[in-house]
Structure 1
Amino acid sequence: MTHRTSETGDITGVLPVILMPYTEQGAIDEEDFLAQTEHMFGVGCDGFVVGQVSEVLRLTHAERLRVAELCAKAAAGRGVSVMSTGAETAEAAIGYSRHAQSAGVDALLVMHPATVGLGDEEMVDYYRRVIASVDIPVIVHHAKSLARIPLSIAAQAQLLEEFGDDRVLFKPEAQPTPPRVSQLRDATGGRARIFEGDGGMMLLDCHRRGLVGTIPATEIAEIVVVLWRLLEEGRRAEAERIGHPLSYLMCHMMNSTDYYLSIAKRFLKERGIVKNTIVRGPSRHVLDEETWTEVRHTYENLLHLTKELSR
């Protein structure tokens, strides 16, 4: 497939993360993968991402290559496709990144190695090698739950200075997220193109600090589309009606990746977007019914509010 060049100016707005669907036999369910992208584009998303909550670290090598191809197929000129290509070595990340570019994705989401604690010098070297290996934009992803040592603001600013804001974007998740968004903005003179990545939990605060977009997940796609539009239009009071209960929902869901997936996939199954709620093991979380009752109530109220505020 021929790659179409994408500028960072095109990589904005609401880009939800695919929740990787599986068949009963354990293979990737390509039909449900594409169904999620159809849902996203149908509710007004600007594109989609395959990220860490896509269980990308639990995929085989062949599956990661195939998913990159599915990303390009699903976007098909309708929006931005972003593929996660980070790995434990720069060599592996470069291989995944070059393949994703050749498959036709628009940008890469690159997480740092997670098994060793890297300092700034090693982190910058890893990202420098990956970014230099491709021509498409790279979103530098700091995953708060997997980073042994947080990537400093200075290191992120260095990458921007070396490669420019047409090649490097950021998805910072080191806590506390809102002030670090401001620090990265200020350290780069406002040039850093930053995405919120906490499922909309801190979007009310982070948006005013200077974001170009947000990366939630499939199950809350239309909720965040409306929330983002309200914030972009300066309708803060209406945005708070969605943003506050959304933060409460995320407080429930973001206890762990498996906790999140057990709830999010059940939402999608109940809505008929995917066929089952399978999470690839080893997953130790079993969703209890009392939690499900609470999150489902909050979720349904959010969907009703979204319809009301989108009129």
Structure 2
Amino acid sequence: MATVAKIQGVNPIVAMSFTSQGEVDFTSFRRLLAHLSGVGVNGLTLFGIASEFPKLDDSERMQLAEIFLADLAGKGVFRALSVTDHSTDLAVRRARRYQSMGADALMLLPPFFLQPSLAAVQAHIAAVLEAVTIPVMVQYAPGETGFPLSPAQLADVAKRYPHAVFKIECNPPVDYTREFLKLVPEAHVLNGYAGLYMLQMLGGGAKV
């Protein structure tokens, strides 16, 4: 099981492989995992936005999660699975299940469908964080979700949950991150957004 301190470095989102008929290509997926785990990355995350999770049914998602965890076991990379459900009950159940399957960490995409209230989003994040003990990367991607949070609102989460990690990928993320870290200097920040701001984010206190 990974600790928060180990959630750093280069952590690609695993792209999803499909056949020309639109079915999941499990053979190519396993080949991709073998390649990525052998090139020096620190971790891998499955079911991020680049994994095209909306195109997967539940049975495909579970089969992929099982392969992901099994094929990467002992490879020296942390294995994170993303929880993307808009229902809080489903998100909590999925988070617990991924933890029980052996995931080293989770990533959490907060709900945005039909523009939930800030209180509802905060309650969703809190429920998932309280349901597990492994690190949870809280994904802040307002360009993709259309749901902005202020640095102070995100800092409230950091103050309550020491196993939370924050993947900040607003565009640009540097000033936001600096303001966030002024409020919670001990917070663990990752840079997303395809690494476009990696050097600036490292200078601003991010871990990747």
* TM-score, normalised by the number of residues in structure 1: 0.63
Inter-partner Cα distance in structure 2 for 1:87 and 1:146 = 15
Displacement of 1:146: 3.0
How far is 1:15 from its partner?
0.7
- For 1:211, the equivalent position in structure 2 comes to 206
Contact kept, 8 Å, 2:2 with 2:134, in 1: the verdict is yes
Q: CA deviation at 1:95?
A: 1.9
Contact kept? 2:170, 2:193, Cα under 8 Å: no
Equivalent residue in structure 2 for 1:126, among 124, 127, 133? 124
Which runs of structure 1 show a deviation greater than 4 angstroms over 4 or more consecutive aligned residues? none
Q: Distance in 1 between matches of 2:122 and 2:74?
A: 32
In structure 1, the partner of 2:186 is 191
More helix by share: 1
Distance 2:117 2:146 in 1: 9
1:206 is matched by which residue type in structure 2? M
Letter in 1 for 2:127: R
Q: 1:47-126 to 2 correspondence within 5 Å?
A: 47-50=43-46, 51-78=48-75, 79-126=77-124
Q: Supply the distance in 1 between the matched residues of 2:27 and 2:96 (Cα, whole angstroms).
A: 25
8 Å CA contact 1:21–1:29 kept in 2: the answer is: yes
* Cα deviation, residue 123, structure 1: 1.6
Structure 1 residue 38: Cα displacement: 1.7
1:123 is matched by which residue type in structure 2?
A: V
Larger Rg over CA atoms: 1
| Per-residue deviation, 1:132 | 0.9
Q: Which residue of 1 aligns with 2:136?
A: 138
- Cα offset, 1:47, TM superposition: 1.6
Task: Give the aligned residue type for 2:97.
Answer: H
Per-residue CA deviations over 1:157-189 (Å, capped at 9, x if unaligned) read: 11111111xx1001112233111111111110x
RMSD value, Cα? 1.5
Q: Is the 8 A contact 1:140 1:168 kept in 2?
A: yes
Q: Secondary structure at the match of 1:113?
A: coil
From 2, 11, 14, the counterpart of 1:6: 2
Q: TM-score, normalised by structure 2?
A: 0.92
Q: Check conservation: 1:69, 1:104, Cα contact below 8 A.
A: no
Q: Cα deviation per residue 1:80-107 (whole Å; 9 max; x = unaligned)?
A: 1111112111112112212211221111
Letter of the 2:66 counterpart? E
Letter in 1 for 2:192: G
- 1:148 is aligned to 2:146: yes
Aligned residues: 206
